[in-house]
Amino acid sequence: MTIEEGVKYVAAAYAIILAVLVVYYFMSARRVSALRRDVEALEDEAKRRRAPAGEAGAE
Amino acid sequence: MKKLLSAPALFAGAGIFLIVGLLLAFWWAPTDASSMGFSQKIFFYHAPIAETALVAFGVAFVAAIAYLRTQDLRWDRLGYVSIRLGLLFSVLVMLTGMIWGKAAWDTWWAWEPRLTTFLLVCFLYVAYWVLRSVVDEEQRRATYAAVFAIIAFIDVPITFFATRFLPEGLHPVVIQAGDSGMEGRMLTSFLISMLGMTLLLAALIRRDLEIEDLRDRVTDLKTSLGG
Hey, where are the domains in chain A? 22-59
Instruction: Using a CB–CB cutoff of 8 Å, tell me whether A46 touches chain B.
Output: yes
Asked if the model's pLDDT at residue A26 lies above 80, the reply is: yes
Residues in chain B: 227
Q: Residue B144 has what pLDDT?
A: 96
Residue A10 and residue B42: Cβ atoms within 8 Å? yes
Asked if the model's pLDDT at residue B165 lies above 80, the reply is: no
With beta carbons under 8 A apart, name residues in chain A contacting B42: 9-10, 13-14
Residue A36 and residue B214: Cβ atoms within 8 Å? yes
- Cα–Cα distance between B166 and B111 in angstroms, integer? 13
Q: Give the model's confidence band at B169: pLDDT under 50 very low, under 70 low, under 90 confident, else very high.
A: low
First to last CA, chain A: 85
pTM, to two decimals: 0.87
What is the tens place of the pLDDT at every residue in B203-212? 999 999 999 9
The count of other CB atoms within 10 Å of the CB of residue B121 is: 25
Asked if the model's pLDDT at residue A18 lies above 60, the reply is: yes
> How close, in Å, is residue A56 to chain B by CA atoms?
18
Q: Residue B113 has what pLDDT?
A: 83
Q: Which of B160, B153, B174, B168 is nearest to B112 (CA)?
A: B168
What phi, psi does B179 have (nearest 5°)? -150, 120
Instruction: Using a CB–CB cutoff of 8 Å, tell me whether B222 touches chain A.
Output: yes
Q: Residue B29 has what pLDDT?
A: 85
Task: For an interface test with B, give the residue of A1, A2, A50 to mutate (most B CBs within 10 A).
Answer: A1
What's the whole-number average pLDDT of chain B? 88
Q: What DSSP character marks residue B109? A: -
The count of other CB atoms within 10 Å of the CB of residue B31 is: 17
What phi, psi does B17 have (nearest 5°)? -65, -40
What is the tens place of the pLDDT at every residue in B54-64? 999 999 999 99
Q: Which residue has the higher pLDDT, B102 or B37?
A: B102
Residue A45 and residue B225: Cβ atoms within 8 Å? yes
With beta carbons under 8 A apart, name residues in chain B contacting A2: 37-38
CB pairs under 8 A between A and B: 93
With beta carbons under 8 A apart, name residues in chain A contacting B35: 1
Residue A13 and residue B214: Cβ atoms within 8 Å? no
What is the tens place of the pLDDT at every residue in B67-112? 999 999 999 999 999 999 999 999 999 999 999 888 888 889 888 8
Please tell me which residue of chain B has the smallest CA distance to A23: B88
Q: Which residue has the higher pLDDT, B81 or B40?
A: B81
Closest CB from A1, A20, A29 relative to B92:
A20
Asked if the model's pLDDT at residue B15 lies above 90, the reply is: yes
- Cα–Cα distance between B199 and A18 in angstroms, integer? 15
Q: Give the model's confidence band at B219: pLDDT under 50 very low, under 70 low, under 90 confident, else very high.
A: very high
Q: B1: buried, middle or exposed (CB in 10 Å: 19+, 13-18, 0-12)?
A: exposed
Instruction: Using a CB–CB cutoff of 8 Å, tell me whether A39 touches chain B.
Output: yes
Q: Which of A19, A54, A44, A17 is nearest to B225 (CA)?
A: A44
Q: B105: buried, middle or exposed (CB in 10 Å: 19+, 13-18, 0-12)?
A: middle
Asked if the model's pLDDT at residue B146 lies above 60, the reply is: yes
Instruction: List, in order, residues 6 or more apart from B39 with CB less than 8 Å away.
Output: A1, A5, A6, A9, A10, B100, B103, B104
With beta carbons under 8 A apart, name residues in chain B contacting A47: none
Instruction: Using a CB–CB cutoff of 8 Å, tell me whether B35 touches chain A.
Output: yes
Q: Give the model's confidence band at B178: pLDDT under 50 very low, under 70 low, under 90 confident, else very high.
A: low
User: Which of B65-69, B129-133, B184-188, B218-222 is the most confident on average?
Assistant: B65-69
Residue A13 and residue B215: Cβ atoms within 8 Å? no
